[in-house]
Amino acid sequence: MAKILCVLYDDPIDGMPRSYPRDDLPKLDRYPDGTTLPTPSAIDFRPGDLLGCVSGELGLRKYLESNGHTLVVTSDKDGPDSQFERELVDADVVISQPFWPAYLTAERIAKAKNLKLALTAGIGSDHVDLQAAIDRGITVAEVTYCNSISVSEHVVMMILSLVRNYLPSHDWVRKGGWNIADCAARSYDVEGMHVGTVAAGRIGSAVLRRLKPFDMHLHYFDRYRLPEDVERELGVTWHDSVEDMIGMCDVVTINCPLHPETENLFDASMIARMKRGAYLVNTARGKIVDRDAVVAALESGQLAGYAGDVWFPQPASRDHPWRTMPHEGMTPHISGTSLSAQARYAAGTREILECFFEGRPIRDEYLIVQGGHLAGTGAHSYSAGDATGGSEEAALFKTH
Ligand code: NDP
The model's pLDDT over 179-214, given as tens digits with 9 standing for 90+, comes to 999 999 999 999 999 999 999 999 999 999 999 999
Mark which of 323, 346, 373 sits at the end of a domain: 323
Which parts are annotated binding residues for NAD(+)? 148, 202-203, 222, 257-261, 283, 309, 333-336, 381
Rounded mean pLDDT of 392-396?
91
Rounded mean pLDDT of 309-334?
97
Q: Are residues 57 and 169 in the same domain?
A: no
Q: Are residues 240 and 359 in the same domain?
A: no
- Output the residue whose Cα is nearest ligand 1's atom 44: 123
Q: Are residues 119 and 216 in the same domain?
A: no
Atom of ligand 1 nearest to the CA of 154: 41
* Domain presence at residue 234: yes
* Domain presence at residue 158: yes
Q: Are residues 255 and 190 in the same domain?
A: yes
Q: Are residues 129 and 205 in the same domain?
A: no
How confident is the model at residue 22, as a pLDDT?
Answer: 97
Q: Are residues 135 and 65 in the same domain?
A: yes
Q: Known catalytic residues?
A: 147, 285, 314, 333
Pair 8, 53: CB distance under 8 Å: yes
Pair 129, 104: CB distance under 8 Å: yes
Domains in the chain, number: 2
The alpha carbon of 105 and the centre of ligand 1 are apart by a number of angstroms equal to 21
d(CA 152, CA 233): 19
* Residue range(s) defining the domain that contains residue 377: 3-146+338-389
pTM over 0.95: yes
The alpha carbon of 300 and the centre of ligand 1 are apart by a number of angstroms equal to 30
Q: Are residues 185 and 310 in the same domain?
A: yes
* Domain presence at residue 180: yes
Q: Are residues 46 and 181 in the same domain?
A: no
Q: Give the mean pLDDT of the chain.
A: 97
The alpha carbon of 118 and the centre of ligand 1 are apart by a number of angstroms equal to 19
* Domain presence at residue 50: yes
* Domain presence at residue 330: no
Q: Strand ranges (DSSP E) for the chain? A: 3-7, 70-74, 93-96, 117-120, 139-142, 194-198, 217-221, 236-239, 251-254, 278-282, 303-308, 328-330, 367-370, 373-374
Q: Are residues 174 and 305 in the same domain?
A: yes
How confident is the model at residue 399, as a pLDDT?
Answer: 78
* Domain presence at residue 249: yes
Ligand 1 neighbours, Cβ below 6 Å, are 122-124, 147-148, 151, 198-204, 221-224, 255-258, 261-262, 283-285, 309-310, 333, 335-336, 377, 380-381
Confidence of residue 398 (pLDDT cuts 50, 70, 90): confident
Mark which of 323, 349, 374 sits at the end of a domain: 323
Task: For 49-96, write each residue's pLDDT tens digit.
Answer: 999 999 999 999 999 999 999 999 999 999 999 999 999 999 999 999
| Nearest residue to 146 (alpha-carbon basis) of 47, 216, 231, 7 | 47
Cis peptide bond prior to 32, omega within 30° of 0: no
Pair 102, 91: CB distance under 8 Å: no
* Domain presence at residue 399: no
Would you say residue 316 has pLDDT above 80? yes
How confident is the model at residue 7, as a pLDDT?
Answer: 98
Pair 320, 311: CB distance under 8 Å: yes
* Domain presence at residue 394: no
CATH number at residue 203: 3.40.50.720
Q: Are residues 168 and 116 in the same domain?
A: no
Pair 101, 312: CB distance under 8 Å: no
Q: Are residues 168 and 314 in the same domain?
A: yes
Q: Is 48 exposed, middle or buried (0-12, 13-18, 19+ CB in 10 A)?
A: middle
Q: Are residues 141 and 182 in the same domain?
A: no
Mark which of 278, 298, 323 sits at the end of a domain: 323
How confident is the model at residue 192, as a pLDDT?
Answer: 98
Q: Is 27 exposed, middle or buried (0-12, 13-18, 19+ CB in 10 A)?
A: exposed
